[in-house]
Structure 1
Amino acid sequence: MKTKISTDLEKRYNPNKDAFMLLNTSSYLDPRFHRLIHLDRDQQQEVRERVKSELIVIAEDCGGYEEDGEVAAMAKGTQEKTALGAMGDLFGNVYQGAESADASGRPTVDIGNVLQQEMLIYESETPLPTDSDPLSWWKASGSKYSHIAQLARQY
């Protein structure tokens, strides 16, 4: 009986099918199952890449981001002045790589790096218990993961 069920599920949800990616992307966006422990490493990476590409599309549709936006604050993090602050002032953004300038000379943020950071923070969250309500969690945590929350709403 188990073999029949397994064979049937394999036919329906083959990793090469769109349904497989849909189901696992939905699992990634569910804070109870976002670690994707049911998949092997290659499949996990494939799902994460798909999520990131969808997040980039959403971010670009919103019109891009500049230095004064919420994304820039997230990319910079909280930087305190320290004794090493002079080195940061001296070298500026040479080694950070997340920022560049647009045609007008205003700094812009590489949205890919920002989204990658948001995903890493989200993935480090402790999974919710399986009997928890993921919609309530997203309502409470949506501002912390604004881009991922927007994609989760779509799914």
Structure 2
Amino acid sequence: MIHLTIEALRPFEEATREVSAEKHVSVSKVIPLVSLLLRAAAATERQGSSLATELALQCQRRFRGIETFHSLAASTFLDIRFKNLAFRDRDNVETMKKRMLTEMQEVHQPTSESPPPGSTSAPVPSSASAPMPRFASPVTPASTPSSAPATAKGGIWADFDIQVLSAQQHRSTGTDALIEMRRYLEEKLIPRDQDPLHWWQEHEQTFPSLSRLAAKYLGFIASSVPSERIFSKAGELVSQRRNRLKGENVNMLLFLNKNL
């Protein structure tokens, strides 16, 4: 009986330690941990543990719609250790991806006038002394036609140039976001003990829009655990034998104890 109780509670202890971390990303682990807790509770339930049965029922009741919370779903998807592998319902993944594509277009809008990082388009030379493009026609400056666009002259190409400009602007938002997400989905998962923030720092230029969303969603779970740890340390520092410490000295000792 005690053995089954320990086996039923052990996964919950491990999950609590995972989400109580302070120095690593923890919010992206919520959905994977809920899925693992449900599996562990079901496995222990098959061994005849009534506690595991109750734990499984409570998990189903409390975490039934956890994948529909966009902040949690987005953080899990943007964690290169998990992506969409940790979701139990694929419909929730598609819903989250549609909303994320919209967010990618929104973060891309302010920089739509400038070429995105990694773009293959070359800058336009600002003066006649600039080097000639690799595949430019060898014409003399005197025979070079005016560089003014046809739209400014109202020529026969005016309507076509407007269509091209509209297509370029459309591609710079929706199409580029979709291509960027597909490339991210093709990336290999990294080991679970590695830091996803470090990965995003290295691939920021490759995924300019997704990297901004990763900085927004990859964070820590707000809880009282850090403050409780500090109070526990304070109780160890200030005891009956050390009750004459000044408040400022206690603060310095707590700071050193916590950060060294």
TM-score (normalised: structure 1) = 0.67
The alignment-based identity, stated in percent, is: 25
AA paired with 1:58? V
| CA apart distance, 1:71 | 6.8
Does 2:201 match 1:139? yes
Shift of residue 36, structure 1, vs aligned partner:
3.2
* Whole-angstrom CA distance in 2 between matches of 1:45 and 1:74: 30
Shift of 1:37: 4.2
Structure 2 residue 61 is matched with structure 1 residue 11: yes
The structure 2 residue matched to 1:69, chosen from 90, 115, 139, is 115
TM superposition shift of 1:15? 2.5
Residue 48 of structure 1: how far off its partner (Å)? 0.9
Counterpart of 1:86?
A: none
**CA separation of 1:32 and 1:70: change in aligned 2, threshold 3 A:** same
Alpha-carbon displacement from aligned partner over 1:46-78 (angstroms, at most 9, x marks no partner): 121121122122223x25x24x61279379xxx
Q: Is the 8 A contact 1:74 1:114 kept in 2?
A: no
Structure 1: any 5+ residue segments left out of the alignment? 76-80, 82-98
**Structure 2: unaligned runs, 5 residues or longer:** 1-50, 122-134, 136-162, 218-260
CA offsets 1:118-145 (integer angstroms, 9 cap, x no match):
0000011111111111111111111111
Whichever structure has more helix as a proportion of its residues is 2
| Paired residues of 2:104 and 2:177 also in contact (CA < 8 A) | yes
Please give the alpha-carbon distance, in whole angstroms, between the structure 2 residues aligned to 1:44 and 1:2: 29
Name 1:153's counterpart in structure 2.
215
Query: Which structure has the larger Rg?
Result: 2
Alignment equivalent of 2:84, drawn from 35, 38, 47: 35
Report the Cα offset of residue 32 of structure 1: 0.5
RMSD of the alignment, in Å? 3.0
Change beyond 3 A, Cα 1:36–1:100: farther
- Contact preservation (8 Å) 1:122, 1:145: yes
- Name which of 162, 172, 175 aligns with 1:113: 175
Q: Relative contact order, CA 8 A, sep 6+: which one is greater?
A: 1
Task: Determine the C-alpha separation between the residues in 2 that align with 1:124 and 1:5.
Answer: 37
Residue 47 of structure 2 is matched in structure 1 by: none
Q: Which amino acid aligns with 1:149?
A: S
Deviates more, 1:39-48 or 1:137-146: 39-48
- After superposition, what is the alpha-carbon deviation per residue over 1:5-35, rounded to whole angstroms, capped at 9, x for unaligned? 33333333332786x3321111001010113
Code of the aligned partner of 2:181? M
Given that 2:67 and 2:92 are in contact with CA atoms closer than 8 Å, whether structure 1 keeps it comes out as: no
Q: What amino acid sits opposite 1:153 in the alignment?
A: A
Q: Judge conservation of contact 2:177–2:209 (CA < 8 Å) in 1.
A: yes
Which residue number in structure 2 is paired with residue 101 of structure 1? 165
State TM-score, norm by structure 2.
0.42
Aligned length: 126
Residue 52 of structure 2: aligned partner: 2
